Structure 1
């Protein structure tokens, strides 16, 4: 199991979260992180600011709620997994941005934060349990039901099921 998966499970266990829908903003608050919805350019989903003990996650208020949830979870991934990148300001502040480049997941830290977010919002044990419980007749129906249950987009759930080996080909799901 990758470090991102382990840390996501550890965070859920720390706060006794055992059922979906996981609230990443609530987890952030419990970690002492302020989550703020704000105006951002269209290609920026969010950012993590760290200055000493102060931690703030900014989320693009124009994005869909499921995307905002993933962004908060992604930024929590940076908080838990990464020290942050230095930004030259008048103060010692570190910033992680989630933008169109980071969402392509070509950078190791961005890929780890994405993996953490997926594991946090749709934990493997919860997803596998839900797959056993749900009655479905099509793969598309399964994805839609799981996406709703876990509060993620159908696309995100499609990738999660693929990465967990529950489906073998993204083409299996015509969404």
Structure 2
């Protein structure tokens, strides 16, 4: 069900190719547009566990992403991109990934397979919402994290982490 052997460069490359394949070259990248382009329905949901941020479920040819209705817009965008990461990297057969808020900020390599899976989905989400070439280009124009986060429609925390990953900050 899962491919946990991918490295960061392979995940970056896959996200970049998916953006190119779907003509998503402008920022902010809209993960809902990508999901709709590939036939995945995205819906807001009220979860009984408020720590849940989202999930992706595949049943045959039906794939859907649910995001926590009460999360702020930038969190929903990251959650959708994270769930798309599970779709493109891990969800090969019927099944689902259910993600808690804490998983969205997990960034350490190693650990068990489920931790590696979450790290990869986070890396994919960051690469999808903040494509490296576009971040580098915008960073040359204006390196203010607040402005960059606003431009890419992500949290300052996510942008700060991305800038570190790209060795810009």
TM-score (norm 2): 0.86
Q: How does 1:59-138 map to 2 (within 5 A)?
A: 59-83=67-91, 93-105=94-106, 107-134=115-142
List structure 1 segments (4+ residues) > 3 angstroms apart after TM superposition: none
SS at match of 1:20: coil
SS at match of 2:151: helix
State yes or no: 1:155 paired with 2:157.
yes
Report what 1:34 is aligned to: 41
Give the distance between the partners of 2:136 and 2:102, measured in 1 at CA: 31
Instruction: Please give the per-residue CA displacement for 1:81-127, whole angstroms capped at 9, x wherever unaligned.
Output: 0036x8xxxxxx41101114523536000000000000000000000
State yes or no: 1:58 paired with 2:40.
no
Report what 2:4 is aligned to: none
Give the distance between the partners of 1:117 and 1:75, measured in 2 at CA: 8
Instruction: Please give the per-residue CA displacement for 1:128-163, whole angstroms capped at 9, x wherever unaligned.
Output: 0101122x6xxxxx1000000000000000000011
Task: State the number of aligned residues.
Answer: 154
C-alpha root-mean-square deviation of aligned residues, in Å? 1.6
Question: What is the Cα deviation at residue 165 of structure 1?
Answer: 0.2
Give the distance between the partners of 1:108 and 1:99, measured in 2 at CA: 15
- The answer for unaligned runs of 5 or more in structure 2 is 1-7
SS at match of 2:55: strand
Give the distance between the partners of 2:14 and 2:44, measured in 1 at CA: 25
- The answer for unaligned runs of 5 or more in structure 1 is 87-92, 137-141, 168-175
Give the distance between the partners of 1:101 and 1:16, measured in 2 at CA: 32
Question: What is the Cα deviation at residue 7 of structure 1?
Answer: 1.3
Who wins on radius of gyration, i.e. which is larger? 1
